Structure 1
Amino acid sequence: MLTLRRYMPTDQAAVEHLHVYAIQRIGAYLGRGPWDDDIYAIEDTYLNDGGEFLIGEINGQFVAMGALKRTDANQAQIKRMRVHPEHQGHGYGQLVLLELEARARALGYQKLHLDTSIVQLPAQRLYEKHGFQEVGRDIYQGLEVILYEKHLS
């Protein structure tokens, strides 16, 4: 059973590992660069700025994560959704997403937005299943991404 909890500084190495490993496995890893700065500053980027960073564990093993980043007073971005490849297909990403959405509502956000690469088909299905609608496409560091939004009621 997956247990969700808030990020702690002692999780840093595990977050870095899951982040890199999961996106390498799907061919979307761009290498270390400024686009990853938030991974190395989780408290400042998320926790101390009206956001959230969740860790998913099974029997103490780190298997999932996801974040909520404030982008303005009324909206936040879902970021860093990762599930360890050996644990995908069990609904853990859905649990993280639903909890982030609940926390966004509790924080008073009215809209969520996110992006995912075109190669991340399971992520696209997850977001669309939960009411996110495609609002555009973009190229980010040479990788095509789909932009999604969801209005919270």
Structure 2
Amino acid sequence: MEDVHLRPATAADDEFLYDLHRRTLGDVIEATWGPWDDDVQREFHRKWFAPDTVEIVFVGGRPAGMVQAAMTDATTFYISRIEIAPEVQGGGVGTALLRGLLDRARASGANAVELHVLQLNRARHLYERLGFQVADVEPPKLRMRLAL
């Protein structure tokens, strides 16, 4: 696996992140809610994107993903979003990234890590392989939790 590292996002990452979202989750979004609506998705992106809360994932020196994660209270680390470009999926990048986030959570004093995943998202299998368990079904999402 190539070198994986993170850097804080900037406003200049806006279009990269929108395109990444479409490429990584477009099929899941369409299977869940119907055809991709660019106007709706751009509005969602506009409301969501806050550069100071996002990190860009680099693989082999190239941007290849994003993560948004932080402590939500004194004991829980929450992964809001994680997206890995399709062309690098399956090569261990997601596993390495998640293990790094689990280390960050432990170092922050968390006793659990939580995330939400769309029920149709293949990433659910990665989360389960790393020990996350379904804590609640919130259609069309699952809330998953890993005790540290």
Q: Name structure 2 gaps, 5 residues minimum.
A: 31-35
Does structure 2 retain, via aligned residues, the 8 Å contact 1:64–1:92?
Answer: no
| Contact 1:66–1:100 (CA under 8 A) maintained in structure 2 | no
AA aligned opposite 1:101: L
Tell me the SS of whatever aligns to 1:126.
helix
Residue 42 of structure 1 pairs with residue 44 of structure 2:
no
Task: Look up the equivalent residue of 1:42 and give its one-letter code.
Answer: P
Deviation of 1:82 (Å): 0.8
Point out where structure 1 has 5 or more consecutive residues left out of the alignment: 47-52
Cα RMSD over matched residues? 2.2
Aligned in 2, Cα 1:33/1:138: closer, same or farther, shift over 3 Å? farther
The AA in structure 2 aligned to 1:37 is: K
Identity %: 26
Deviation at 1:133, TM superposition (A): 0.8
CA distance in structure 2 between the aligned counterparts of 1:124 and 1:63, rounded to whole angstroms: 19
Aligned residue-pair number: 138
2:125 match: secondary structure: helix
Are the counterparts in 2 of residues 116 and 146 from structure 1 also a CA contact under 8 Å? yes
Match of 2:147 among 112, 135, 151: 151
Specify the SS of the correspondent of 1:105: helix
In the aligned structure 2, how far is the partner of 1:36 from the partner of 1:147? 24
CA offset at residue 88 of structure 1?
1.3
Normalised by the length of structure 2, the TM-score is 0.79
User: How many angstroms apart in 2 are the aligned matches of 1:62 and 1:111?
Assistant: 29
Q: Answer yes or no: is the 8 Å Cα contact 1:67–1:100 preserved in 2.
A: no
Q: TM-score, normalised by structure 1?
A: 0.77
Matches within 5 A, 1:134-149: 134-139=134-139, 144-149=140-145
Q: 1:25 to 1:61 in 2, by over 3 A?
A: farther
Equivalent position of 1:27 in the other structure? 29
Asked if 1 retains the 8 angstrom alpha-carbon contact of 2:18 and 2:42, the reply is: no
Shift of 1:34: 5.0
- Whether the 8 Å CA contact 1:66–1:97 is kept in 2: the answer is no
Distance 1:67 1:35 in 2: 13
Describe the shift of the 1:76–1:36 C-alpha distance in structure 2 as closer, same or farther (beyond 3 A).
farther
1:116-131 equivalences in 2 (<5 Å): 116-121=117-122, 123-131=123-131
Spell out the pairing of 1:2-151 with structure 2 (5 A cutoff).
2-9=3-10, 10-27=12-29, 31-33=41-43, 37-38=47-48, 40-43=49-52, 46=53, 53-121=54-122, 123-139=123-139, 144-151=140-147
